[in-house]
Amino acid sequence: MSRYQIDKLLRDLRRDPELATRFRTNVETVLDSYKLDAAESALLKGWEVRALYDRGVNPLLLLLAHGPAAGKSMQEYAAAMNPKHRPGD
């Protein structure tokens, strides 16, 4: 797994609003710019944050990129990462 390439994409999504928008509207053009295999691309397209974390992707980068690139809330991130966990508990 290209953990570095995924971490790099997540860093870029966090820093570049245009890239984050394009990830939501034309994801293939974004993924094509990184050295990812089909399985990695599928996990990213589906924002399978728990599966990515379990494969060693940095959780801070996952959290930081998730909002701008997935367009989802912190609560949705937490639920996807750990369905049993409620933030603040």
What does the binding site for another protein look like in residue numbers (CB under 8 A)?
Answer: 4, 7-8, 11, 14-15, 50, 53, 58-64, 77-78, 81-82, 85-89
**Least Å from the CB of residue 24 to another protein:** 19
Instruction: Give the nearer residue to another protein in terms of CB position, either 11 or 22.
Output: 11
Query: What does DSSP assign to residue 2?
Result: -
Instruction: Give the nearer residue to another protein in terms of CB position, either 24 or 86.
Output: 86
For 10-72, the DSSP string reads HHHHHH-HHHHHHHHH-HHHHHTTS---HHHHHHHHTT-HHHHHHTT--HHHHHHHIIIII--
**Least Å from the CB of residue 16 to another protein:** 10
